Amino acid sequence: MNRNIRKQTSYGGWIAAIIVVLLVVAAGVYLVQRGMHPAASPANPPSTPATSSTQAPASASSTIQHPINQVASGPAPASTASLPGLFDSDASVREALLGMAGGDLTSMLVPSQIISRVVATVDALPRQSMGSTNILPLRTPRGVIQTQQANGITVITAANAERYAPYMTVLAKVDPHTLVTWYKHSYPLFQQAYRELGYPRGYFNDRLIAAIDDMLAAPDVHDPIAVTRVGAHYHFVDPQLQALSNGQKLMLRMGPANEEQFKAKLRMIRELLAGGQVGH
């Protein structure tokens, strides 16, 4: 990864709106936030993958499970021009994403090293911890997590889901066929960023599919979720929920209605990327 990309200390956790390829795109977006902590502006992506000593990357081997040449075809790309270099790609990537998601995305998108941020974020979603790094392709929701007391227990309120309304608006605008077609055309840049992240034998599309499948497997929780404050962050009281991956915690924090909408878009994107729906 670019030597100018810096490390940032943070606590794992997330919240968002999708992976560009789900990133902004529901998104493809993906928006990630450091847990339920009132976040500051995102820093640059880490220069090394956020790996854990007990969690090996799902696509670290040379065996390719979902070759990008098998992605379902869609409308022809708006441009057939040669791709820019990875570190010269921000302008064209911004233009493409804004074309798909509209002007609402302008204030959310971190404008530098977009593809590298997306790749690092996707890689971290299936993990249980972000370790000591944090990367964000989109700026985090404004305000702090909304809680209330219920029978002496602190729970996330239904109103907390409103913090993600701008991201869900962007998500609704993105056409999965257009997004996947653009991703397929731009795939060499994603693959390069993934290898530079620290996976010389890895295949990014496999990691993306793994991240999508993991998020689709997130439990559907409709009752208020109890949380407890641990330092500057909130943790889920239920140890099973707290042990979920970053991506699955993301789904729970955005609220049931947003989660349902998010999963529906993810299923469509996965179908176009690899065929066959996974999840419920």
Instruction: Band the pLDDT of 130: cuts 50, 70, 90.
Output: low
CA distance 197 to 256: 33
CA distance 93 to 149: 44
Q: Note whether 263 and 215 are within 8 A (CB).
A: yes
Is residue 195 classed as helix, strand or coil in its secondary structure?
helix
* Least-confidence region, from 18-22, 112-116, 130-134, 239-243: 18-22
Instruction: Band the pLDDT of 222: cuts 50, 70, 90.
Output: very high
Instruction: Band the pLDDT of 166: cuts 50, 70, 90.
Output: confident
- Tokens in use for 194? 């993934």
Phi, psi of 261 (to 5 degrees): -65, -40
CA distance 230 to 221: 22
* Least-confidence region, from 54-58, 96-100, 247-251: 54-58
Cα–Cα distance list, 268 to 68, 254, 277 (Å): 16, 20, 8
Percent of the chain with pLDDT over 90: 34
pTM: 0.77
What is the predicted pLDDT for the residue at 62? 65
Cα–Cα distance list, 89 to 180, 188, 228 (Å): 18, 12, 42
Instruction: Band the pLDDT of 110: cuts 50, 70, 90.
Output: confident
Question: Which DSSP string do the residues of 150-173 spell out, in sequence order?
Answer: ETTEEEE-GGGGGGGHHHHHHHHH
